Amino acid sequence: MSDLNLVESIKMAFSSLRANKLRSFLTMLGVIIGVSAVVAMVSVGQGAQASVEDRIGQLGSNMLIVTPGRAAGRPGGAATARGAGDLLSYADAEAIQEANLPDVDKLTVEATRAGVIRFGPNNTTTTIVGTTPEYPEVRSFHVKEGRFISAYDLQNMTRVAVLGQTVASDLFGGQDPLGQEIRIGIVTFTVIGVMEEKTQGMNDLGDQVFVPFTTAQKRLTGKDTIRAIYIQAKAAEVTDLAAREVEAVLLPRKDSPDKFMIRNQQEILSTLEGTTRTFTLLLAGITGISLLVGGIGIMNIMLVSVTERTREIGVRKAVGARRVHILTQFLIESVTLSTSGGLVGILAGITGSMLLSRVGQWRTLISPAAIAIAFGFAAGVGIFFGIYPANKAARLDPIESLRFE
């Protein structure tokens, strides 16, 4: 078919769509819903994956987290109840530090408890974190004003505190907190710094107060136990090696690998990415069923169109049109229906994903690849489901067609 005839066929296809606007729209509706759902769901899925990557990135891809007790059902470890023997101590962290492991860069600890913080008539309930000077660098959570806990503070058990942004706002409002005295329980602390504003997923990291671990141990908790040890490997590529080195230090101290768990951020990231990818593909597959339903609607309306235009087909054949011309004409009409629905569906999908992001506070990520695949699938549906009606039209006998009432 020449370029001129092809352009003419496309014009005729659009003319046919305009002649039956409502029918054309209803026919395209299945494709519109299918394409828009695929685009929106893939956008939600990829947005969720990007959020997971951001959360892991905030902690650092080269981060190891040592916690008490091993997760039930983990390969190579039995499920155990978490008892006194499963607790981590500050001495465990010191043992790792003193081992000078070749693939470990820095580490810090967290000992947490809930408590009421007071300043004058103001008070707030928050999380008190006993930690070490390496905390800001290891956790990528830095001081905005003042300074963080120093080695001197840790060694001398000074009563100093660093406030998260939320706590500073609750206690001081617009007043400068640096140098002010606050009370944690019955103990007075001097504010030496305020952390930057930061969230991790749904968690507000500003709703915390940081004090030297030794001070927390002596004046607030009376315990040597810690919630977690955060270890920064020298590079993301050596986190597995660092984990094995840390395990070699802790194993003789704990007698059993079931009494502690080392979580590798790289492993967590890979697992979550795989899960999110599978979930996204599942959503896209389910919504893709709408495209097949839309394709069946296109086939149905094209068969009706063939019946309605039987005499027209007979006339065209009588004046010299060949089978390929009739076949191409109806196939172009089918593809025009599906691709028009695809374009509308893409716009609807992008709009829908933006609404989900704004109304539902979900992160969405528009994927050009998903848009291209959805549009290509829509065009493929038009070709696949248009073949049979087009072939039926092309095979009509011209004499019988002219007699058709």
Cα–Cα distance, 59 to 203 (Å, whole number)? 13
Neighbours of 127 (CB within 10 A): 16
- Read off the tokens for 368: 């050009």
Q: What is the share, in percent, of the chain residues with pLDDT greater than 70?
A: 84
pLDDT of residue 54: 67
Nearest Cα to Cα of residue 106 among 79, 127, 137: 137
Banded pLDDT at 72 (limits 50, 70, 90): very low
Structural domain boundaries in the chain? 3-55+270-403, 63-260
**94-103, 144-153, 186-195, 200-209: lowest mean pLDDT where?**
200-209
Banded pLDDT at 81 (limits 50, 70, 90): very low
For the chain, what is the mean pLDDT? Answer: 81
pLDDT digits (tens, 9 = 90+) for 85-134: 468 899 999 999 999 999 999 999 999 999 999 998 999 999 999 999 99
What is the mean predicted confidence (pLDDT) over 381-396? 80
pLDDT of residue 403: 61
pLDDT of residue 404: 60
pLDDT of residue 184: 92
What CA–CA distances, in Å, run from 20 to 17, 270, 303, 312? 5, 51, 15, 17
Prediction pTM value: 0.60
Cα–Cα distance, 42 to 22 (Å, whole number)? 30
pLDDT of residue 135: 94
Banded pLDDT at 352 (limits 50, 70, 90): confident
Cα–Cα distance, 234 to 177 (Å, whole number)? 36
pLDDT of residue 77: 37
Contacts of 148 (CB under 8 A, 6+ apart): 133, 135, 136, 162, 192, 193, 210
Please say if the pLDDT value at position 327 is more than 90: no
Report residue 169: phi and psi, to 5°: -70, -40
pLDDT digits (tens, 9 = 90+) for 331-344: 888 888 888 888 89
- Buried residues in 308-325 as b, exposed as e (16+ CB within 10 A): ebbeebbebbeeebeeee
pLDDT digits (tens, 9 = 90+) for 213-222: 999 999 888 8
What CA–CA distances, in Å, run from 318 to 166, 390, 391, 392, 397? 83, 18, 18, 17, 10
- Read off the tokens for 250: 């802790």
Task: Tell me which range, 144-153, 329-338, 343-352, is most confidently predicted by mean pLDDT.
Answer: 144-153
Neighbours of 356 (CB within 10 A): 18
pLDDT of residue 6: 65
Please say if the pLDDT value at position 259 is more than 70: yes
Q: How many CA atoms lie within 13 Å of 259's alpha carbon, on the beta-carbon side?
A: 15
pLDDT of residue 52: 66
Cα–Cα distance, 345 to 363 (Å, whole number)? 21
pLDDT of residue 256: 79
Cα–Cα distance, 219 to 209 (Å, whole number)? 15
Residue 313 backbone class (left: φ over 0; alpha: ψ -120 to 50; beta: rest): alpha
Cα–Cα distance, 11 to 273 (Å, whole number)? 46
Cα–Cα distance, 212 to 268 (Å, whole number)? 30
Do residues 389 and 330 lie in contact, with contact meaning Cβ atoms separated by under 8 Å? yes
pLDDT digits (tens, 9 = 90+) for 16-48: 777 777 777 887 888 888 888 888 878 877 777
pLDDT of residue 95: 93
Do residues 253 and 92 lie in contact, with contact meaning Cβ atoms separated by under 8 Å? yes
Neighbours of 137 (CB within 10 A): 15
The DSSP H or E segment spanning 252 is: helix 239-254
Do residues 391 and 306 lie in contact, with contact meaning Cβ atoms separated by under 8 Å? no
Do residues 108 and 138 lie in contact, with contact meaning Cβ atoms separated by under 8 Å? yes
Neighbours of 380 (CB within 10 A): 14
Q: Integer distance in angstroms from the first to the last C-alpha of the chain?
A: 30
Cα–Cα distance, 330 to 342 (Å, whole number)? 18
Please say if the pLDDT value at position 71 is more than 60: no
Please say if the pLDDT value at position 405 is more than 60: no
pLDDT of residue 111: 93
Cα–Cα distance, 308 to 302 (Å, whole number)? 10
pLDDT digits (tens, 9 = 90+) for 353-366: 888 778 766 778 88
pLDDT of residue 76: 36
Cα–Cα distance, 126 to 115 (Å, whole number)? 6
Kindly give the interhelix angle for 368-394 and 21-59, rounded to the nearest 10 degrees: 150
pLDDT of residue 79: 36
Judged by DSSP in three states, 150 sits in: coil
Cα–Cα distance, 129 to 164 (Å, whole number)? 11
Q: When comparing pLDDT for 294 and 123, which is higher?
A: 123
Cα–Cα distance, 353 to 362 (Å, whole number)? 9
Banded pLDDT at 282 (limits 50, 70, 90): confident
pLDDT of residue 140: 85
Do residues 8 and 236 lie in contact, with contact meaning Cβ atoms separated by under 8 Å? no
What CA–CA distances, in Å, run from 38 to 47, 49, 286, 405? 14, 16, 9, 43
- DSSP one-letter code for 227: S
Report residue 231: phi and psi, to 5°: -120, 130
